[in-house]
Chains A and B, each alone.
Chain A
């Protein structure tokens, strides 16, 4: 069964902390994505990657960076967390640009 695993379901961090959100997929997918989900705003694309060490900005990349050192792993980094980054973060992967997106269960981040 296909699987996208996000390492932390719930995190609480303080303003200014560096935060790492990890995502691993076991489907050998080329493409991986980080979305942010907020009530009333839907899903918004932060960054995506179509190959190892490759990344492209999505619609809301400010305040975030990403790392993809291995094909199966895509990390989202908040260099200095702020309260307006309190949100649900969803990782997804797909087989190229035409396959469906497979989502993880999400990581709910609270920044105090």
Chain B
């Protein structure tokens, strides 16, 4: 099955700086790559996703890039704010939402 690796496990950034989280995946058939944000005491929430027919997608301060050849994808957060502090999970699947394989998660801490 699909295996997703996520690095780094913890990331601290100064408020206003950018944060980048990288994930690699193993199954070349994977075609759907979502990112979920989990705040303390809550369930994960989708923040952005990308499908394998595009290389980049942006939504305000958040962007995701996909390199199918290298089998990795990254989350970019610009102008970080304290409310960006959370655990971020990447995931991949060849079957859409079914059988999503999640990474282990990144704790992002934005220092005011």
Contacts and interface: CB of A to CB of B under 8 A. Distances in A.
Interface of B: 1, 6, 32, 34, 36, 41-46, 49, 89, 91, 95-105
Interface string A18-59: 000000000000010001000011111100101000001011
A59 B100 CA distance: 10
Contact of B104 (A42, A48, A105): A42
B2 to A, nearest CB: 10
B43 A94 contact: no
Interface of A: 4, 31, 35, 40-45, 48, 50, 56, 58-59, 90, 92, 94, 96-101, 103-106
A71 B26 CA distance: 34
Given A40-B104, A42-B89, A100-B34, A105 B42 contact: yes
Given A43-B44, A97-B96, A103-B44, 6 more contacts: A45-B100, A96-B97, A97-B95, A99-B97, A101-B97, A105-B41
The binding surface of chain B is classed by DSSP as loop
A100 B104 contact: no
Contacts, number: 61
A48 B98 contact: yes
B45 A103 contact: yes
Given A42-B102, A45-B100, A104 B43 contact: yes
B41 to A, nearest CB: 7
Contacts of A35: 102
Closest 8 CB pairs of A and B: A103-B43, A97-B96, A42-B104, A43-B102, A100-B46, A42-B102, A94-B97, A98-B96
14 contacts: A31-B98, A42-B104, A43-B89, A44-B102, A48-B99, A50-B98, A59-B101, A90-B43, A97-B98, A98-B96, A98-B97, A100-B46, A103-B43, A104-B43
